[in-house]
Structure 1
Amino acid sequence: MQTYRRRLLATTLFVGAVTLAAPAVAQVAPAEAPAADPVASQPAVDQPAAAAAPQADQSAGDIVVTGSRIASPSATAASPLQSVGIAQIQQSGAINVQDVLLQNPAFGTPGVSRTNSSFATQGAGIATVNLRNLGEDRTLVLVNGRRFVSGLPGSNAVDLNVIPTQFLERVDVLTGGASAVYGSDAVAGVVNMIYKTKFDGVQLDGQVGMSQYGDGFDRQLNALVGKNFADGRGNIMLFGGYSKQGTVLKRDRYTEAGSSAVDSTSRGAYVTGNDADLFTPERPYLSGFAPQGRYYAGDRTFTYGQDGALRDCVSTNGTAGCVNANGTAAGPDGFNRSSFRYLAVPVERYVAAGRANFEVSPALNLFLEGNYAKTKVSTVIEPFPLDSTFSNPRNSGQIPIQTVVGGITYRNPYVPNAIFNAATDTDGDGLKDIYFDRRLSDFGPRTSSVSRDVFRIAGGANGKILDDRFNYEVYGIYGQTKEAQVGSGQFNTANFFQALNSYRDPATGQIVCANAAARAAGCVPANIYGAGALTPAASYLAVPTTLSTKVTQTVAGGNVSGKLFSLFGADPIGFSVGTEYRRESSRNDFDLLTQLGLNGNNALPSTAGRFHLWEGFAEVVAPIVQDRPFFQSLSVRGAIRVSDYSTVGTTYSYNFGGEWAPIEDIRFRVMQARSVRAPNINELFQAPQQDFPSVNDPCIGVTATTAGTLGATCRAAPGVLANIAANGGKFTANQADVQGVTSFGAGNPNLNEEKGDSFTAGVVINPRSIRALRNLVVTVDYFNIRIKDAIVQTPLQYILNQCYEQGNTDYCGQITRRAGPLGPNSAGSLDQLTNSFLNSGGVKTQGIDTVITYRQDLTDIGLAGTLGLRGSYTHLISGYTVPLPEADRDYFAGEIGASRDRFTTNASYDIDGVGLTMTGTWISQASLDDQLTGARPGTNPLYRVRPQFYLDSQIRFQTNDGFEFYIGGSNLLNNKPPYLADIGASAGQDTDAGTYDALGRRYYAGVRINF
């Protein structure tokens, strides 16, 4: 059986429709072009030449387009494929290719980017892409048609930070299932980074930029050197680059609702049902965790006022009726988190790359490519919000303010008299205790410093054999990503408990820790009363956090393609067969305290796992009719791949379809594909990971008389009954309750693969017979992707709704409520939720892509210069997920991050060494998540945010000696992002910073020298 699996041959469908941006073709230097002119050898109905240029390491005259392994001089495309050329990348001024790709409406909001990862416990600053809103793990990123090692432990997501943009010839974006050609993970499609192959010369470039607010200073410096040798049979290229994208602070930006410098919320209005004020911020909405602390003793709450004196009322946001000890009105005594938070984390990159090939003979061409990248990222968020539940290992939250030493009861000398006198014995041990919370400003903000190293090498051989009828390729790849992270601002829970248990030693008169063993270990008594009081004990209590990760990928494979016989006088049937072996491993290890959740961080146990697989694949393209009336060409295609995983066993993927061109100006195409995605290492092996989710408690508002399943299920919890009795007959949750829910999500080694079925149908129009329009290409494609057995973690809100609203007791066991009051948390409030990965989900999305490209030398019509136009538009017809077969649909089409309509237009005009490019991106109106509002996207205008339009521009000046100077700007209209606060924003932000431009107007300038 193993021999069969390793040598399995089958048939495959060539996937890909080429739609290159016209400006991307214009700037390609002759030295970078393929040795043969692809335009001359391919049907005019295809898009501009560079889109169908041979992939790296192919012989001149043979074309391999993303989506197929068959080399042919007349390759065409059967599935939607868009290409972004190097000129378009350069004209964007982007440092990272992610920024260019995200302008394409086929992409959804990235899971990780520079502007939405400041709160990430790992992976901050990584740049990923997400096709069709189906997720990074369903988007396969390739380099020259081959896999690239993941940048995120346990995931398949590639970090685009490590791809040198100057090394690229173009980026192909294939949408629709492509597993039959490339293997697992290509459910949504493929992003294929194509390197230059024949660059000869030296290119130096440098760029600087900053925002109009004087921050976000960006710079990059790059050098590319290439040389052809041995009469063009060989080429070597080397690249070295440095870039740094600067910090942007949240407090220095604005949303449509105003400044983000002060904490605000709109959730309060939403929860109370005051929908009219949903997007009107409540400001300030400060955190109750303040540096001076709060102390809950008996039935009284104490804090320190602005005058530094203790008082027995709190005024988080300036609550009326609270006065300081000196009789003055109490101002806000909460804490403003926004003054600390990063909006965009700084990312510093050192990138090196190389590529070489040498044609020993037509039958043997050797190639080698390598990448190395070091990425440095730092994050800063506000100091830790500590409450007494973190400091008591019994997790009850009571902190004794008396202790017994040698049979004698002592009072904690730090406790103010008012708090001590109000305190009671809440746990029956005969000692007074209190609850408290405070901001650990004494320890400074929470920071992380991350260093990632990525190394990849790929090499092999290809060539033509048997009278050039067959092409072959063999290759091997090894990739590795390592990350080292160090953080600050956390504390040792066990030490904190010992430090709080202190007394005044009568023998010495000194305040010491009560536990002798703790004293011997260096325990320093902790004074938690008042701002700055804890500082002397910080050296004993504070601990660094560490993270070490390693991801490896090993790939070896080979394939043979060629031509068989002809049918009915058409071109010969093309085929490709091959096999591939892949092994992947991943591990991530936090420090021991983080793994146990004993330093205030999420409990994040180590995760490690590996898998391997053997695959066999084949594809065939069969021309049926050519050069006949109404049949300029007609062909059919098919593919199959069989994979044998060490984890899920044998999987099958396939595709089939065809193309018909009634005349050379019009070509119709259709494709049906079955793709698979095997579970990744996190989904299989992840240890239970702690999180602090935002969920809506269905029991809020339930009364003693609320009828039906909801009322009965809620009141079945003793804590809920106690809460109702204590709050005038209605269950009530406070701010600490809303923010104090924890969850644990774990992997599942019994998972199976996902199965995705995609259908695409479209038309390509290139009116070559009309002289004025021969450079116009219009493509319209319908796509429909449905995923079965989708791997999902059951949504926490779904678990709550199923338990309390539907009475499904299976889910109630995943919910824990507090039995009684616990510090600032109310009796009966949500405490903990648990879930795991299951093959229980379903996903569907469908829509229409339209791409129009046009490039015209205006001298042909008596004008001057060259005009290039490109427009790409996606209309999302529908999109939803189903977490479980019996669950209601969770619609995402029309929600924030998945607007119904998106388009990007690009216009360029070049004349006498001067070029101007204008790019406009439009995102239609969007709705809040229906899981929050209960309203299907687009049905309730109260839950919508306005459309957004972004305008970018660049002007270039070129000289005949290879010097180019350019200046440009992004978000020139300085659009303010919609205000979302905590009803749809990225973690810690006031907007969805992964979807909307939150950085504001930015300018850049650069030079590029070629010689």
Structure 2
Amino acid sequence: MRSNFKTKNLRQFCASAAIMALAISATTAKAQDQQSAEATQETEESDDLIVVTGSRIASPTVESAAPLQILDDAAIDESGVTNVQELLLENPAFGTPALSRTNSAFLTSGTGVASIDLRDLGSNRTLVLANGRRVVAGIPGTSIVDLNVIPTQFLERVDILTGGASSLYGSDAVAGVVNFVYKKDFEGIEANGQIGLTEQGDDLRYQANLTYGTNVADGRGNVMVHFGYSNENGLLSRERSNTQVDAISDIFFGGDVNAERDGPFFSSFPPQGRFDVAGTPNVGDDFTFDPDGNLQPCFTTNGTTCPGGVGPNGFNRQAFRTLAVPVERYLFATAGSYEISDYVNLFFEGTYSRTESSRIIEPFALESGGGTGIYPGTGRMPIENEVNGTVLVNPLVPAEIVAAAQDTDGDGLRDIGFQRRLTEFGPRSGDTTRDFYRFVVGFDGAIFDDKFNWDVSYNFGQTSENQTSSGQVNIQSFQQALAAQADIDDIDGDGDVTEAICINADARASGCVPVNIFGEGNISQDAIAYIDAQATFQTKITQQVIQGNIYGSLFELPAGPLGIAAGVEYRREESEEDNDALTNAGLNGGNKLGDSFGEFDVLEGYLEVKVPILADTPGFQLLEAGGAVRVADYSTVGTVVSYNGTLTWQPIDDIRLRGTYSRAVRAPNIDELFAGAGQTFPSGLQDPCANDGSGPNGGVTATETSALATACRAFAGVNENIAANGGEFQLVQADIQGISGFNLSNPDLEEEKADSWTVGVVINPRSIDALRNLTITVDYYNIDVSNVIAAPGRAFTLDQCYNNADAQSCSFVTRRANQTSTNSAGSIEFIDAQQLNGASLKTEGIDVTASYNTSLEALGLDGRLSARVAYTHLIKNDFKQRVDLDADPSAGEIGTSQDRFTANLGYSDGPFRIGFTGTYISSAVTDDQFCVDCGDAVDAEFYLDTQLNYKVTEEFEFYLGVDNLLDNDAPLIPTSAPFNVTGSDTAADVYDIFGRRYYTGVRMRF
């Protein structure tokens, strides 16, 4: 199967490449003169005023007081990426993405989304702009933009501004801004086609793009359109030898996280079922089926093989999991302008994107108990049912189980517990379609003899998502199908007295068919049809922005013009999420999820000034100060203020010193304020009242005087429990499994506040001819976010309530006031987690960039050489669940390595160009909250990519590339270990999981 799959894809690769090349070669259009690629690359200042990200004031250079990195269209082309996210993640300023193809297969929302995260401060704290204006989010209730909607080949450049920028751009710019700048005033045709494949013959990727631009009305206007299509086929865990089976590390048994596999470690939900007959599973009273279909006792606790060869007793989930979700993308973008008069222009932008993604994961794991089990109350399946005073035994239950079963819940009827993988339903699958619309229309122009420029615009964006999922079950229907009796009296009137029928008459009328869970393959298609529950999820996000800006020179100072910019902006956002009715009620084998709707609006105004203090003076080629302030009035949090200050000192032409301070804000998003409650059943929690060690069994006693015991006995039901258990608080298994809780929004949240500092130097030794094209920047950054919006962890809530007498934490814990049929009095029923403003974030580090390009004539060689390096050293990345507690440091952990760099080296000679890109990630450790003194969990990684280009004519270019040229394997980070992405046996959002891969393509320019 493996070799056949590879051969098929290789044939498809070759055929598609040939067809694509022929199709594009046939394109004809009027040729447009192109500037030679070998033209000088020396930096020259222009008299034209331009606006760069980080300031609203136009200036004749791209120099920025804040750290600003720019990726131009050449860098995008030479990367060979399908989605611009792939290129940005090579930059060390970006952290681990919240969402990507390789970490979203198991999400209920967000499959296939591509996001970015500056400084590892969270994607909600990175503001994404297109042409300096906001872009509607791709995830409901958030500000996270899906980069699938960005037309990669329509980009002129990408500006990456790090550090707080809320005073210029508003909320969310805490970590910085990423501004995607589209092509402008383009004439002619650009077309490209590309196809790629991994060395293993999988994850076929191909794309085709066409951009057309023309001047109209004798040059008074320009219109551009762009069409793009891309398809990434995806990758399954079973298609790679290192992820074909579940893996787990020795760390769960006292060893090291980077130990060799103790595997396979299969799931304890086998497809033939495991059946507990006495209410104490895994201690000698389980049954399962052996490979010959015989029912045998099973005593295993590790989910692999029962003693004596009975088994296997587990299930290999990896055989059904998705490593990288397939994503198909359609894009249309347009932009244009028209000169109405000498002082007024009309401009517009429009973008439409449709993204389709899908995923599969392992078949549903069903159990009798637990929060999402068939019997969440008792946790037990009755195998006897009383009908009209007669006790009837379910005829589908094997005799051995019937004989061994006991009445464990005290209702006088025998019952069992079970765990079973529903392989008859097939894998769980999900299909997601997202439609993105965005248009901008506005006017701009100049006034006061061109001293000031102005613009006004209206920006509308909408993202809608439709998702369907299969492989879940209707809990109520499953209960009815498990309550079966022998139809010896032909109750259903079909003439068959040998069959089993559902006991409930209403259920039978609705199509109920008894379900046989005993043995693999025994669930009939009719039973599946009755039990199956398809889940649906629809969302819609709408953003509207009206803004006006004016910028220019107020008057001349001795050192130059006093720059000023001002503007107002009104923004309205709405978001809604609609789940199906079964999901709302928690009756489809998953947690209960509420629907969500929320909206807010905000009116903002800003003012920015740039003051040249000294210029062309010994020791002060330039001394310039700047500042900005923004006031915003939110319908949710009221009035907030952000501001910044900048200082630039250029003592000589070759050296420029710069520094910034900013106060940035992030207003709470719609989900944090208004999301519907979502239920969860957390695992691994320990009730402090049952584990303080004072009683014979570890529970709190009636006479203990500790603060913890006092706190426990203050809850209703705890004293009743102690009295019922001989003076000690005790729990049963149902109590431990029955802990639930809701994730809650909070309409009373306040805004986050961030203080951001940067201090740096820019060195460009233009006075030395050999080094005039060398630029080096070194910047120190420090970002401190307070009032952080976060939901405390449930273990943290228990600790703070019982060990630190924190009243707020205790308010989120609910204990049962009385004994129930299945749960003990005083046991924990709910531990809720609500969004609060109590946490803090702090990151600190150093960025270094260097770029150089030169002709090789001095060495007697033809051609040019170019090089660029971007390096980040992370000093600190700390999170505090509460400001008065110790920090949880993540600098140096997997995903936040302390040292990262990307380096580019290129050589060009006439029509030939070759480039290399190296990306380095330093060694990293696992989470210190999980494993203390574990040592290095993974070694350092260095990835090398290359691309070769050959320009056949001025209009036609051919290229081919290899990513991960060294064929690095992703480090082993086993299942359930911190940073593991389910199904990948590694941190798939950090490390390359594809291995060496090849691509080729052509570009046409007319």
Same fold (TM over 0.5): yes
Asked whether the equivalents of residues 351 and 437 of structure 2 are also in contact (C-alpha less than 8 Å), the reply is yes
Query: Which of 985, 991, 995 is matched with 2:990 structurally?
Result: 995
Whether the 8 Å contact between 2:114 and 2:147 is mirrored in structure 1 is: yes
Q: Say which SS state the counterpart of residue 832 (structure 2) adopts.
A: strand
Moved more, 859-868 or 483-492: 859-868
1:479–1:552: 8 Å Cα contact kept in structure 2? yes
1:553 aligns with 2:548: no
1:261-300, CA deviations, whole angstroms, 9 ceiling, x for partnerless residues?
111212xx4344x234653322111111111111111252
Distance 2:732 2:178 in 1: 46
Counterpart for residue 593 of structure 1:
582
Aligned to 2:125: 138
**Structure 1 501/664 Cα, relative in aligned 2: closer, same or farther at 3 Å?**
same
Go from structure 1 to structure 2 and tell me whether the alpha carbon gap of 1:514 and 1:135 turns closer, same or farther (over 3 Å shift).
same
> What is the Cα deviation at residue 730 of structure 1?
15
The corresponding residue for 1:680 is: 669
2:388 aligns with 406
Displacement of 1:854 after TM fit?
Answer: 0.7
Greater RCO structure (CA 8 Å; 6+ sep): 1
Aligned residue number for residue 749 of structure 2: 751
Q: Indicate the SS of the match to 1:312.
A: strand
Deviation for aligned residue 1:738 = 10
How many angstroms does 1:803 deviate by? Answer: 4.6
Alignment of 1:472-487 (within 5 A): 472-487=454-469
Task: Specify the alignment match of 2:937 in structure 1.
Answer: 944
Native 8 Å contact 1:443 1:535 kept in 2: no
**Two-structure CA RMSD over aligned residues (Å):** 3.2
In structure 1, what is the equivalent of residue 611 of structure 2? Answer: 622
Residues 637-681 of structure 1, C-alpha deviation per residue, up to 9 Å, x if partnerless?
Answer: 010000000111101000012101011111111111001100000
d(CA) in 2 for partners of 1:784 and 1:460? 37
Of 237-246 and 74-83, deviating more is: 74-83
Which of the numbers 555, 560, 573 marks the counterpart of 2:562?
Answer: 573
> Which residue of the partner structure matches residue 46 of structure 1?
none
Q: Equivalent residue for 1:781? A: 779
Partner of 2:287: 302
Q: CA deviation at 1:713?
A: 9.3
Aligned to 1:54: none
- Code of the residue aligned with 1:480 in structure 2: it is Q
Residue identity opposite 1:853 in structure 2: S
- The structural deviation recorded for 1:236 is 1.3
Q: Superposed, which structure 2 residues align to 1:654-693 within 5 Å?
A: 654-691=643-680
Secondary structure, aligned partner of 1:198: coil
Give the Å deviation of 1:316.
Answer: 6.8
Compared with structure 1, are the counterparts of its residues 883 and 850 closer, same or farther at alpha carbon in structure 2 (3 Å cutoff)? Answer: same
Paired amino acid for 1:581: Y
Structure-2 residue corresponding to 1:11: none
**CA distance in 1 between partners of 2:598 and 2:767 (Å):** 58
Distance 1:211 1:320, change over 3 A: closer
Structure 1 spans left out of the alignment, 5+ residues: 1-27, 43-59, 324-328
1:503 maps onto 2:498 in alignment:
no
C-alpha distance in 1 between matches for 2:511 and 2:605: 62
In structure 2, the CA distance between the partners of 1:789 and 1:644, relative to structure 1 (3 Å rule), is same
- Secondary structure of the residue that 1:150 maps to in structure 2? coil
- Aligned counterparts of 2:865 and 2:330: Cα–Cα separation in 1: 36
Work out whether 1:527 is the aligned partner of 2:525: no
Indicate the residue corresponding to 1:368 in structure 2: 348
1 CA distance for matches of 2:678 and 2:434? Answer: 22
Q: Distance in 2 between matches of 1:330 and 1:817?
A: 41
Q: CA deviation at 1:799?
A: 2.3
**1:999, 1:599 → 2: CA distance?**
34
Alpha-carbon offset, residue 856 of structure 1:
1.1
Residue 270 of structure 1 corresponds to 251
Aligned to 1:456, which of 438, 441, 455?
438
Mapping of residues 19-418 of structure 1, within 5 Å: 40-41=44-45, 61-74=48-61, 76-230=63-217, 232-253=219-240, 259-266=242-249, 269-272=250-253, 274-276=254-256, 279-298=259-278, 300-315=285-300, 322-323=307-308, 329-389=309-369, 390=372, 392=374, 395-418=377-400
Q: Cα deviation per residue 1:784-832 (whole Å; 9 max; x = unaligned)?
A: 1001101111123422443566565753564579999999999999885
User: Which amino acid is the alignment partner of residue 160 of structure 1?
Assistant: L
Q: How does 1:905-920 map to 2 (within 5 A)?
A: 905-920=903-918
Is the CA contact 1:715–1:721 (under 8 Å) kept in the aligned structure 2? no
Could you tell me how far apart the structure 2 residues matched to 1:85 and 1:920 are?
18
Partners of 1:32 and 1:197 within 8 A in 2: no
* 8 Å Cα contact 1:388-1:823 kept in structure 2: no
For the 8 Å contact 1:958–1:965, the answer to whether it is kept is: yes
Please give the residue correspondences for 1:432-443 in structure 2 after superposition, counting only pairs within 5 Å. Answer: 432-443=414-425
> Is the partner of 1:931 in helix, strand or coil?
coil
Q: Distance in 2 between matches of 1:196 and 1:721?
A: 72
Partner of 1:640: 629
2: CA distance, partners of 1:413 / 1:821: 34
Q: Which amino acid aligns with 1:270?
A: I
Q: Output the amino acid matched with 2:671.
A: N
Q: Is the 8 A contact 1:392 1:497 kept in 2?
A: yes
Alpha-carbon separation, structure 2, partners of 1:174 and 1:88: 17
After TM superposition, give the deviation of residue 506 of structure 1 in Å: 3.1
Q: State the partner residue of 2:951.
A: 958
- Tell me the CA shift for residue 894 of structure 1: 1.3
CA distance in 1, matches of 2:541, 2:73: 30
Distance (whole Å) between structure 2 residues aligned to residue 518 and residue 563 of structure 1 = 78
Q: Distance in 1 between matches of 2:822 and 2:941?
A: 41
Residue equivalent to 2:763: 765
Does the C-alpha gap of structure 1 residues 205 and 678 become closer, same or farther in structure 2, counting only changes over 3 Å? same
Aligned pairs (5 A) from 1:778-817: 778-803=776-801, 806=804, 808=806, 811=809, 814=812
Structure 1 residue 443, shift from structure 2 partner: 1.0
**Residues 867 and 720 of structure 1: CA distance in aligned 2, closer, same or farther (over 3 Å):** farther
Alignment pair present for 1:465 and 2:454 = no
| Alpha-carbon distance, 1:119 to partner | 0.1
Matches for 1:880-959 after TM superposition, within 5 Å: 880-933=878-931, 935=932, 940=933, 942=935, 944-959=937-952
CA distance, structure 1, for counterparts of residue 719 and residue 230 of structure 2: 55
Partner Cα distance (2:459, 2:862) in 1 = 49
Q: Distance in 2 between matches of 1:170 and 1:29?
A: 21
Alpha-carbon shift at residue 758 of structure 1 (Å):
0.3
1:1007 correspondence with 2:988: no
Tell me by how many angstroms 1:71 deviates. 1.8
Q: How far is the alpha carbon of 1:229 from its aligned partner?
A: 3.8
- Aligned-residue offset at 1:949: 0.9
Pair 1:502–1:819, CA change in 2 (3 A): farther
Instruction: Using structure 1 for the length normalisation, give the TM-score.
Output: 0.88
| Residues 345-392 of structure 1, C-alpha deviations (whole Å, 9 max, x = no match) | 000000010011122333112111100000000010000100113454
Instruction: Please tell me the residue identity of whatever aligns with 2:166.
Output: S
The amino acid of 1:563's aligned partner reads: S
* Residues 366 and 421 in structure 2, CA contact (< 8 A), matched pair in contact too: yes
Aligned pair count reads 942
- The equivalences for 1:4-19 within 5 A come to none
Counterpart of 1:479, as a letter, is G
Aligned-partner Cα distance in 2 for 1:819–1:615: 50
- Aligned letter for 1:532? G
Asked if structure 1 preserves the Cα contact closer than 8 Å seen for 2:854 and 2:864, the reply is yes
> What's the offset of the Cα at 1:233?
3.6
Quickly say closer, same or farther: Cα 1:821–1:347, change in 2 above 3 A.
Answer: farther
Matching residue of 1:15 = none
Identity between Structure 1 and Structure 2 (%) = 47
